[in-house]
Chains A and B, each alone.
Chain A
């Protein structure tokens, strides 16, 4: 008896679910044509970022900033006859989810460009999918050099692997070297302990940093690795103390970085922890308690709050009523979204005011040539799809807040 009722319940649920799905697809069919009564064409800008999980603070900021770019374009009628819509998918910082999302975005023929993802490791799995479909991708946050310059960039062989890949973030080569130069020259540290989280971003950044630090004459007194999502690093912290290092460089993200810094300070070793843009987040400070004054992070660009070009962005963002802050990549995400909008504008202008039938190819082509003054400065891409904007800033924790201490344009 009980089994039969269970069977009936399951069938009813399944039927219900199927009916609902069918409804959903029918609705989509109606709206999917693109043209509506106003005579405008709707194009979709895809977003892929970690919207849940421990990196969601950054992901939500990316999503909202792109949303703001689309809304601004719609309001100003930036591209006459085109209405922009944003479709945001959650990759949870997992490469396989990113790849599934890429496939989904490629499948939606209204998508003309994608902003994202946050993580370099996720991007590796998405690039191929986008390239096969000719769909342009602009990452606001990927910093691993191989994504745009090929696997052998370290040996000086630069080869762009995917012509659909662009980014508004400067690479780790720039960031790691900048960090090493600051730590050695400006902060006067000579003995560093290097820790990374074994991920594409973290390990790559730590390696670039180490090479430059050694080249300058500094000493790497020890190395270790931590595992993402682990929380107990006290053994690693004690190794740092025992090594007698005067500073620590961490390649990785803020959830692990914050705890590592905290646990190092608890051993009694009063040394600053430095990292890349992955730890440049308020959550790094809250994760590491109160004792982390003096910790350092590099991040791309000049501090958004100090740029005149960003004033309007910040005001609009605050007026937009978004629940989460724009976080570390908000400005770059807005610029990435705006670059796609500008590319659509160029493609439409070249096609007598209508969206070309091969919109994806035309947008990709136009993206390589965009040039405008964005939130973060001049936005344009070089022959590898990398940003031409090589400005960087070092931030320091002071009184529980990130304070910028040095901004500069990087040149070898």
Chain B
């Protein structure tokens, strides 16, 4: 069974890769070239100097990507992945938007050559997904092989994922200006910051505390019981008791669960759409969603969500590339190496920083990045100049 699944996945990826190549290598390069040709010529802001050395995406005068800086930033991203988790993907995005100078450069073409502005924006979005996505992909395939799938849920999620991942690039590629993108990215980061802050409040922590207490209590009860004690296992596995458009009810080892099948479809759609629009993974939103909506056990939700993320990501990257988005490969490669180094350093350094402090630092960071990006995106000013002139 596993081998067949791997084969299907491999074929899917291979097929995707072929379309990527075919689409990007030729037709789309000419789109950017046309935009470069059409842009006003000169050495001023928002103009293209044909005599200038080729920079990012082969644009004359485009930013020269500093691979050393990219490497150092990626170490930071990898460090976050290994200590805090999903926030690493956000920081990868921050790197693409601000650190390498791509954002400022795209901004200069807002009025004069919007196509170049949008091309750089899309390139940032797809680069984020490539970088975080391919790494997550390898981990996901392992989980996928490990876990059993709950096919109806996986199918519902996958339908939503494909729709979200296909539609968003189709509808937005080449249409989102850099400023809008940064603004929406800011909203997402601010939302994440608020959620992280909520988790630290007594109310937010109560749920987690309660779960921990219940788990501890159950563990101590289990320790008191004799091993191998007989339990009622007359109802093994999953037994579907009701299957309709409005409700799927099933017993799981005799315990009743139910969920609305439309939830995974909409949830998959919304999560995949957000992930594709912002250029993030999406798995970190999918697993908690899946567990809380369907009550699936970890073992099953891991495999099921891995499949949905995998399908969503392939669809999204392909869809972007079909719209003509170009990628700077050495930048992606350098960042992958940086992530590896950062993830190796993380475990050795994070033990000296208490979890509580780590959380506080990232809440402050999320608020700063979120508000700053929103101000840049929607007001055209960065947060420092807004407050301090």
Instruction: Tell whether A and B belong to one assembly.
Output: no
Query: Contact residues of A with B, CB < 8 Å?
Result: none
Query: Contact residues of B with A, CB < 8 Å?
Result: none
